[in-house]
A and B are shown apart, each in its own frame.
Chain A
Amino acid sequence: MSIQDHLPALIVMLPLLGAFLTPAVASLGKKIRNIFFVLFSFLILLVALSIGCAVFWGSPMVYVMGGDSFAIALPSGMSYPVRILFEIDAFGALLALCIAIASFAGALFSVAYMDKFSGWKKYLSLYFMLTAGALGMCVTGDLFNFFVFVEISSIASFGLVAFWRDKPEAIEASFKYMLVSQIAAMLLLIAIGTLYGKYNSVTMAALSSMMADGFLERVVLALVLCVLAFKCGAFPMHAWMPDAYAEAPTGVTCLLVTVSQASFYGLIRVCYSIFPKIAAGGVVGWILIVFGCMSMFFGVMMAVVQHEIKRLMGYHSISQVGYMLLALGVGLVAMSDQQNMIAYGFTAMKGGLFHAVNYSMYKALLFLCAGSLYYATGTRNLDKMGGLARNMPWTAGMFVIAAAAISGLPPFNGFVSKWMIYESSFAIHPILPTIAMITSVLTLASFAKVFQAAFLGPAKTGFVAVREAPGFMLAGMAVLTVATLLLTFFPGWFISNIFEKAAGALVDNASYVRAVMGGI
């Protein structure tokens, strides 16, 4: 048995095993618990890296759960798959890698950040469940299984957002998220059930090969679009996002950022791989573009006026998701015409995926910096902070890198991905890059405000004796800083070796279907 063959199963098994073992391990003492937490998260990262290497420089991986052989999707005599399938192409592997990196960074950060708190058994179990749910969403090739992973990650997030249950704001944020999330989940279930009723299959590749262009399919696509746009926090379905991000423990917020990316993965997978015949061309692409522009602009407008650091960053998340929706919307509009696809569509998709990875890294880092400030000062209110750069030089340094990246300042990675999006969306309509640029300027203004308020100026009374965050927290932040800097220094390598392949995997729907359905 080669471990390489079973990697797709391992990437979900490991976090699940971590969650199951937690109650026993957490009773063995603080040191063993911390080693277990960090080691398991690191193992998950290693598995995600191995999958990435295998898929970026090889072919898509297919894994059949419970089959006689993990590799045979269609046993003899079957015309479509009946078992649960995992299918990982370059796009799925890319986002799984982002989630694993954020999970590892969040684990390192949590070791010190949550040290003084009780309730570790619950925290650790739910943290691993959240990781399992998010990773599962990116690797599954089965639509109903996707729904199950959405639910696993949602339920784990409800618990983690309300972790500080003596805090009414946390309970409110969790309840709000739960209410809307469950309505969304039911709509998703109805949509998947409808497809199952008509096509007798929930395997994504099989559905894609059979999908017709009819009224029912359009209704299903509309439902799935709404649900997943809500889950990734697009305007006007964003209300849960700032609350949940602000109230969750910071290590979890870092992971929640990438969980919303897993929903973004679902949205794009559904549009490009399951419904390409309906989604390619005008309407769906323009819907994504409009969602994207509204999210970008209104997200940043709401962020500028915030005084509470984590809420401010929560609103910026809405704005950043807008860029990705805009880029992938442009890709969909261009998809019906080969010329347009070559001229600007493919660049837009590469830019969108590059931005998704950049966003996961620098936004997770920004949240960790905010958590570090909260840990040191005990407040999240920017008006009460000041002059902290002298006491917290490492946090200040890493914050500057992340803030410059999110604001799109050259030469940082955010600049490269945003530039690709401006360039390609200009071909559709000049107003689109204009909105994107205004958003970028406002983002810069907003983060200049945060940096000035928190780190510069005279030290406020009461914060003179503030010390730098503990080593583990800095280590968590350093992981994401290194990732951001790598993307900054080698954008060309990443674009040609990874993002081009991920975008290519989305456009080349036939190979996604072929990996499961063979020559059919």
Chain B
Amino acid sequence: MKPLSVVVTSVCDIFAWFMIVFGVYVINNGHSTPGGGFQGGAIVATFLSFMLVAYGGSHFKRWVREGVYGLLEFVGLVAFFIFGCLGFPNSFFFNSLAIAYGATPISEWIPYCGTISLMNVAVGFEVVGALSIVVITMYESIHMVSTGEGMGGERGHDRFDR
């Protein structure tokens, strides 16, 4: 993929960062407004598509480290699981951190919804990682078809040599 004009790259420089801020806002307010971990995560993940479309494949290849997104995914999934376990001994996924209606919270920064907002953050991490990897994999396939070689070196899984 070739880079687009200077107009596109300049607009991308400004807006791509806003997308991240907006995505994080949607993730953080998922418990009280429309949206949540998945939706916010999808918005954040558009950052990578912006970069790919505006700056083209060669820049993209230089910037992107697939392991970072894999790590985000891993952290998100394990955190989600741990937040689910906080519900024990009542039940798995029980919202044990929720502040009951009428009770006074310790600080105004702690939301009433308990584990729900933490789970939104975990899902957000997971979705950012996963959707970014989807974009990277799709680009790799285009690259592989057009040049006949894989980006990461591995094309098929190695087979028995007979």
Contact = CB atoms under 8 A, between A and B. Distances in A.
Interface of A: 1, 6, 9, 13, 16-17, 20-21, 23-24, 63-70, 116-119, 163-167, 375, 378
Given A9-B92, A67-B90, 10 more contacts: A16-B81, A20-B74, A65-B93, A117-B159, A119-B154, A119-B157, A163-B157, A164-B156, A166-B155, A375-B160
B92 A6 contact: yes
B21 interface: no
Q: What 8 pairs across the A-B complex have the smallest Cβ distances?
A: A166-B156, A1-B89, A66-B93, A70-B91, A378-B162, A9-B92, A20-B77, A119-B157
Given A20-B81, A378-B162, A164 B90 contact: no
A164 B89 CA distance: 43
A289 to B, nearest CB: 41
Nearest to A122: B157
A65 B90 CA distance: 9
B90 A165 contact: no
A63 B91 contact: yes
22 contacts: A1-B88, A6-B91, A9-B92, A13-B84, A16-B81, A20-B78, A20-B81, A66-B87, A66-B92, A67-B91, A68-B90, A68-B91, A116-B159, A117-B157, A117-B158, A119-B154, A119-B157, A164-B157, A166-B155, A166-B157, A166-B159, A378-B162
B95 interface: yes
Main secondary structure of the interface of B (DSSP, over half): loop
A215 B95 CA distance: 41
Contacts of B157: 117-119, 163-166
A378 B161 CA distance: 9
Main secondary structure of the interface of A (DSSP, over half): loop
A166 B154 CA distance: 10
A63 B91 CA distance: 8
B50 interface: no
Contacts of A116: 158-160
Nearest to B84: A13
A471 B95 CA distance: 46
A247 to B, nearest CB: 13
Given A1-B89, A118-B154, A66 B159 contact: no
Given A116-B160, A119-B157, A166-B157, A65 B92 contact: yes
A21 B88 contact: no
A64 B162 contact: no
Given A17-B81, A21-B78, A24-B74, A165 B92 contact: no
Nearest to A1: B89
Contacts of A163: 157
A64 B91 contact: yes
Contacts of B74: 20, 23-24
B156 A65 contact: no
Interface in B43-78: 70, 73-74, 77-78
B91 A23 contact: no
A164 B159 contact: yes
Most chain A CB inside 10 Å of its own CB: which residue of B74, B87, B91, B155: B91
